[in-house]
Structure formats: structure tokens, C-alpha cells
Amino acid sequence: MRPLHLPPLSLVTGIDAAGEVGSFVKPLAEKANINLTVVAVANEFFGGGVTVTGLLAGKDIREQLAGRQLGDVLLLPDVVLRDGEDVLLDDVAVSDLEADLGVRVEVFPADPYGLWDMLDTLELEFNRNNHTGKQGE
């Protein structure tokens, strides 16, 4: 695995998957030489007993991540979105999360290959923008 040249990133997951996602991300981040933080979000929207990532609500993500250092990009697994839409179960749009949290949000396919592809794509974009002098486009 090659090192990636990326700014700090965060990845959202539900409580149930936090341990497994963390045990995958930690060695990935070390080998790729990146700062990637896994952020577990509790599901209060459905009363707290639901712990799967696919049923996270935008309200919970927004409230629990507000004011936290999330890096330059927040990675959101696609399973939190309504099928074929950029909207979470509670009608919060990805663009609303970006505005409310003050961080770029990128949706990725919720599997190891999807995460790697997103990281690779972000690296290409950040390197291109650094060479052209553009930021965050």
C-alpha cells in the first residue's frame, strides 16, 4: 500500500460497526500515512436502541459532531442515505450537513474498496488543487 497525501479526515459510523470499522481503519491509516478518525454516532432519532450505521439520522450526525475537529473532509457511508438520493432518513441533505458542520462531506460506498477508492480520488483532487493553487474545489 502506498502512502497518500491527504489532509485530516473523519469517517462516520454507527455504534454497532465502530469497533470493526476502527480495526480496519487504524492499520489502513498507518500504512497510508494519513490522519483518519472514526467517529461513532449514537442513533437518538430512533430512541437510542438502534445502533446500525444504515439508520443514522442527519440530526444525530449534526448534533453529535457540531463543534468537533473533523479535519478537512467528513466521509459518510452511502448506507445512511435514501436509495439514489443525497438525503438521510430524516430529510437532512448532505449539503445541509456540510453547511451546519462547516466541513466538506463526501459519500463513499460502505465497504473497504469503496473507502479506498474515495481516499484515492480525494488524493488525486487535493494534489491537483495544490498544484494549481485551488483549495477545496
Q: pLDDT for 111-137, tens place per residue?
A: 999 999 999 999 999 888 875 555 444
Burial category of 85 from C-beta neighbours within 10 Å (exposed 0-12, middle 13-18, buried 19 and up): exposed
pTM for the complete prediction?
0.91
Show the domains of the chain with their CATH numbers. Answer: 9-131 (3.40.50)
Give the pLDDT confidence of 41-76 residue by residue, as tens digits: 999 998 878 999 999 999 999 999 999 999 999 999
**pLDDT reported for residue 137:** 45
- Whether the Cβ atoms of residue 106 and residue 10 lie closer than 8 Å to each other: no
Q: How many helices (H) and strands (E) does the chain have?
A: 4, 4
Cell of 97: 450537513
The mean pLDDT value of the chain amounts to: 92
Going through the chain in order, the beta strands assigned E by DSSP cover: 9-14, 36-41, 73-77, 104-108
